Amino acid sequence: MHKVHINTFIKNHYNKAKLFEEIVERLKLHGIDPENITRTDLSIVDEFHVRGAEVSREIAKEINLVGSRVLDVGCGIGGPARMLADEFNCEVTGIDMSHEFILTARKLTTLVGLNDKTEFIQGDALELPFENGSFDVVWTQHVQMNISDKAGFYSEIARVLTDKGIFIYYDIFRKNSSELDFPVPWANDPSISFLGTILNMNTILKNLGLTLVQTTDQTDNAIEFFSGMFERNNKSGPKKLGLDILMGDSTLEKSGNLLKGLKENKIVLQSGIYKKI
């Protein structure tokens, strides 16, 4: 399928009209005044990946980010970028294909007063609009599953990193050729799902001059997270403010299929750090 068509399907998958307005209304239902909102108030909804803000913070603590220029590729509505800038004292640029995500990221960042440390740009991860060596750290969470051109994706990341720059990822990878049950959070059907393997990523990054520093298997943590989520939902119902804002009515089905894939060992969740030599 042509790249332009794939990009259109991916944009449509994540598209949510008036997303900022819905988040504000949900905040009010949650008893939160949008005029006095904090970044923590948003953390339930603005970190669109397994385990949310908790795992972002864990990963960020693995390196010294103070004073760094950080690029968040596939930044969504800006939760991790705001967290990194606020808690780890660095300058963060977020880029995402979705116009609505970037618009929402900018508005939410204004609400919590972090415009001086963050910037959000709409753009393509395969054609990053930055000069070579622009960033000390590139950060990406749950993005490669929608990108078929793995070599192009990681090549752009390596290009914009400084010498001795750090690449941090937190992603879902396939273990074998077994098909997942759809829908899942990143795709309603296989047409826009391009799960890569850890081995393939490692080979590409090694050829690009990046050296593996460390990895962490996050699979068991993810299973525990989703199991706990379903247990809470069964007892007290879904939260008034949650990721259903982004995933819609099929949130539980998508999450359930992701959990099933993890339990059946079809997919694995891993975080890791590479360094550009």
Q: What's the pLDDT tens digit per position in 141-156?
A: 999 999 999 999 999 9
How many domains does the structure of the chain reveal?
Answer: 1
Q: Distance between CA 184 and CA 100 in Å, rounded?
A: 21
User: How confident is residue 11, by pLDDT bands cut at 50, 70 and 90?
Assistant: confident
User: How confident is residue 211, by pLDDT bands cut at 50, 70 and 90?
Assistant: very high
CATH number of the domain that residue 26 is part of: 3.40.50.150
179-190 pLDDT per residue, tens: 999 999 999 999
Domain of residue 9, residue span: 3-276
CA 62 → CA 74, 91, 157, 200, distances in Å? 20, 17, 19, 24
70-98 pLDDT per residue, tens: 999 999 999 999 999 999 999 999 999 99
Q: Distance between CA 75 and CA 252 in Å, rounded?
A: 23
Please give the torsion angle defined by the CA atoms of residues 198, 68, 127 and 56, in that order, rounded to the nearest 10 degrees.
40
Which of 65-69, 91-95, 169-173, 238-242 shows the lowest per-residue confidence on average (mean pLDDT)? 238-242
The count of C-alpha atoms lying within 13 angstroms of the C-alpha of 21, restricted to the half-sphere facing its C-beta, is 3
Q: Distance between CA 170 and CA 139 in Å, rounded?
A: 8
Nearest to 268 by CA among 192, 198, 204: 198
Q: Is the pLDDT of residue 5 over 80?
A: no
Q: Distance between CA 46 and CA 243 in Å, rounded?
A: 8
Q: Distance between CA 27 and CA 24 in Å, rounded?
A: 5
**pLDDT of 16:** 79
Region 29-38: what's the mean pLDDT?
88
User: Which two tokens mark 33?
Assistant: 């005044």
**pLDDT of 242:** 67
**Do 13 and 187 touch, CB atoms closer than 8 A?**
yes
Q: Distance between CA 48 and CA 43 in Å, rounded?
A: 9
User: How confident is residue 3, by pLDDT bands cut at 50, 70 and 90?
Assistant: low
Percent of the chain having pLDDT more than 90?
Answer: 74
**pLDDT of 203:** 98
Q: Is the pLDDT of residue 238 over 70?
A: no
User: How confident is residue 213, by pLDDT bands cut at 50, 70 and 90?
Assistant: very high
**pLDDT of 170:** 97
User: How confident is residue 12, by pLDDT bands cut at 50, 70 and 90?
Assistant: confident
Percent of the chain having pLDDT more than 70?
Answer: 96
**pLDDT of 272:** 98
Region 150-179: what's the mean pLDDT?
96
SS3 percent helix, strand, coil of the chain, rounded to 5, is 45, 20, 35
**pLDDT of 31:** 87
User: How confident is residue 51, by pLDDT bands cut at 50, 70 and 90?
Assistant: very high
Nearest to 99 by CA among 1, 188, 18: 18
β-pair type (135-141, 118-122): unpaired
Sheet holding 69-73, edge to edge: 118-122, 91-96, 69-73, 135-141, 161-174, 267-276, 210-217
pTM: 0.93
